[in-house]
Structure 1
Amino acid sequence: MKNLWKLMLTSILAVFLLAACGGNAVDDKPKENESNTENVAGEEVEAEFPVTLKDAVGNEVKIEVAPTKIVSMIPSNTEILFGLDLADEIVGVSDYDDYPAEAAEKDKIGAMEFNVEAIIAMNPDIVFGHESAYGMSEEGYQQIRDAGISVFVVKDALNFEETYETIETIGKATGKTKEATEIIDNMKTKVDEVVAKVKDVDTKKTVFVETSPAPEIYTPGAKTFAQELLDLVGAENIAADQEGWVQMDPEEIIKRNPDVIVVMYDYIDTAVEDVYARDGFGTITAIKEKAVVQVDENITSRQGPRLAEGLEAYAKAIYPEVFGE
């Protein structure tokens, strides 16, 4: 009898919650960017379907049931999906996907120029694209939609908060809201730990982040993910007076004299050695202090679960003394 009363009470609470959220207990159309997640008697309930979410290009994508066949078109999406424990559901990934190791074993769909026919042949329930590549591939995306396949274009996140939102959204789209929350909480904990370690540094260091080698040396300026990483670890970006990804002449780098040079590419085995050997760089503090450090580009630029590790990599590269290195 006691259990029966508990069941009746829970049902009544659920009705009131539905009425409060939608104004109509039989209205099954979710609000924009909102899943059908309820909280009954203080307990979190897994997202229900159908769910309608707005993607990065403004399309409302209705997902009827939790997808069982997923195609990911960019490494950051893939890392999130694996983090959400969807390894078995992933049937296709891009040619660049290399993490986790299991991603490399999945069928490939191409890179920036993806194979539309191959994707359609996989017959996925949903394809997760990305805003960063959408402009040059819009026709291909539409062909996939025309084949009756749901396409969700993921936002090109520019900071940690937008990355958290991306993980949360993909969690809603796949019925993995609990797992998404756990990933986000773990990332925030890691970020807080790193920030706490560097908050009391005596002198803020100046940094030059190099994303491509000479002769065309590029660096991230303001309004980039790298800028946020530098801000969080308490370092000064010598290119912060410019926005986006900019080319900088060697003479200008010498003039701005960074304390640390962070190298963000590894496709050249001698990347760090080449920086030390550049003509005229001998006067730069980073060269004299042997402070040219290579970091893993993937964990510092992919908008996924490993970004917190990327933040730590930046902190260790710039303030190794804080970490006992």
Structure 2
Amino acid sequence: MRYLPPVAVALVLVTAACGSDDTTDAAGTAVTVDNCGVDVTFDAPPERVVLLESAPVTIMHELGVLDAAVLRAGAFPEEYYDDETNAAIADIESLGEDLDTSGHLQISQEVIIAQQPDLVLGLPDGITREGLSGVGIDALIQPVYCPEGVDATTFDDVYEQIETYGRVFDRADEADALVGELKDRVAAVEAAAENAPERTAAVLFPTVGGGSGYAYGNRSMAHPQLEAAGFTNVFGDVDERVFEVTLEQIIAADPDVLVLLHVDGDPAAVKDALVSLPGAEDLRAVRNDDILVQLFNFTEPPTPLSIDGLERIAERFLP
């Protein structure tokens, strides 16, 4: 099976200027969210949510609103969540887990519309905001996937997304508490990294079945992750979120550490997809086995899972 980033459209859907300038109307009842330059107004917290991606789950769970999700579609790997969250996900009716070879969800817009949700989280291929809004269904996507480019991603994007959900679901206090906890966790890793030796790293998405795949530049969540863990991103001078990379480019950069991302499947196969390439033995990270394989949402898009991923990097590579 050939794995490509679930953001394979990412070469087009680069990190976007999707502000979180939310406003409340004069009566204090309606919340308007600027999502990818589109104003989405909620007269009340959503009660019928369809999850078309796994990334929002941790925020909804921590805010205590995961029970608003009545339907889901796609893959929700258990490794992302604790037992309580996995149990809650299992109780949400699934519309299917049909993924193509690139890891993209395959589902028709008509199927979603027939469920009559008031909010859809995620817009996989074939489902559009315009098509849903035409029948009264709101949609929100992760700002990192907005179709128009934005500046570099930081941990502030995680916090802003949480605050936006807090306003949409009327859980502002819970959102503030969660942001404070996550900031403390990031600070703890940064403090641990202060005494670490200077090292370089790269975050890659190998292509299982041939080719060296993709690398993440300074507009990805991978960049602040590496910085917080005390690493210099060897592709930090690339003003892109994700881009095709050759093995020759990776060898030329020769990072001390490699973080390999994948959507599903056997982590060993993901690692083997890179280390088995002719010439990969020239990489010091391969020779020293300084390689971490982790699921995609542990890096992108910016959510609390990105802080989990940061801690996994720190646990694997920091003293």
TM-score, reference length from structure 1: 0.74
Match of 1:126 in 2: 119
DSSP-derived class of the 1:301 partner? coil
2:265 is equivalent to residue 267 of structure 1: yes
2:204 is equivalent to residue 210 of structure 1: yes
Deviations 1:174-208 (A, max 9, x none): 1111221122111111101111101122x311112
Letter paired with 1:234: G
How many positions carry a matched residue from both structures? 273
DSSP-derived class of the 1:200 partner? coil
Whole-angstrom CA distance in 2 between matches of 1:33 and 1:186: 22
Q: CA deviation at 1:316?
A: 2.7
Whole-angstrom CA distance in 1 between matches of 2:75 and 2:229: 29
Q: CA deviation at 1:225?
A: 1.0
> Structure 1 137/163 Cα, relative in aligned 2: closer, same or farther at 3 Å?
farther
Q: CA deviation at 1:72?
A: 2.6
Runs of 4+ in structure 1 deviating by more than 6 angstroms, as ranges, are: none
Q: CA deviation at 1:56?
A: 1.7
1:172 aligns with one of 167, 174, 191: 167
Deviations 1:202-229 (A, max 9, x none): x311112221234142111222111111
Whole-angstrom CA distance in 2 between matches of 1:137 and 1:273: 33
Letter paired with 2:245: M
Q: CA deviation at 1:274?
A: 4.6
Letter paired with 1:312: E
> Structure 1 219/104 Cα, relative in aligned 2: closer, same or farther at 3 Å?
farther
Match of 1:107 in 2: 93
Is residue 201–residue 234 contact of structure 2 (8 Å, CA) maintained in 1? yes
Deviations 1:136-159 (A, max 9, x none): 556x32232222233344422733
2:219 is equivalent to residue 223 of structure 1: yes
Higher relative contact order (CA 8 A, sep 6+): 2
Is residue 190–residue 309 contact of structure 1 (8 Å, CA) maintained in 2? no
Whole-angstrom CA distance in 1 between matches of 2:139 and 2:291: 42
Larger Rg: 1
Letter paired with 1:212: P
2:225 is equivalent to residue 246 of structure 1: no
DSSP-derived class of the 1:264 partner? strand
Matches within 5 A, 1:1-325: 33-35=22-24, 50-98=29-77, 99=81, 100-101=85-86, 102-109=88-95, 112-129=105-122, 137=126, 140-156=128-144, 158-201=153-196, 203-213=197-207, 214-244=210-240, 245-265=242-262, 267-268=265-266, 269-319=268-318, 322=319
Q: CA deviation at 1:160?
A: 1.4
> Structure 1 161/109 Cα, relative in aligned 2: closer, same or farther at 3 Å?
farther
Q: Which runs of 5+ in 2 are unaligned?
A: 1-20, 97-103, 146-152
Is residue 73–residue 109 contact of structure 1 (8 Å, CA) maintained in 2? no
Q: CA deviation at 1:124?
A: 2.3
Q: CA deviation at 1:50?
A: 1.9
Whole-angstrom CA distance in 2 between matches of 1:272 and 1:314: 16
DSSP-derived class of the 2:35 partner? coil
DSSP-derived class of the 1:55 partner? strand
Q: CA deviation at 1:168?
A: 0.7
Deviations 1:92-117 (A, max 9, x none): 22312345323244234566454333
Letter paired with 1:64: D
Q: Percent of counterpart pairs with the same letter?
A: 22
TM-score, reference length from structure 2: 0.75
Letter paired with 2:61: F
Whole-angstrom CA distance in 2 between matches of 1:149 and 1:274: 41
> Structure 1 252/64 Cα, relative in aligned 2: closer, same or farther at 3 Å?
closer
> Structure 1 173/254 Cα, relative in aligned 2: closer, same or farther at 3 Å?
same
Structure with the bigger percentage of helix: 1
Whole-angstrom CA distance in 1 between matches of 2:126 and 2:193: 42
Q: CA deviation at 1:273?
A: 4.0
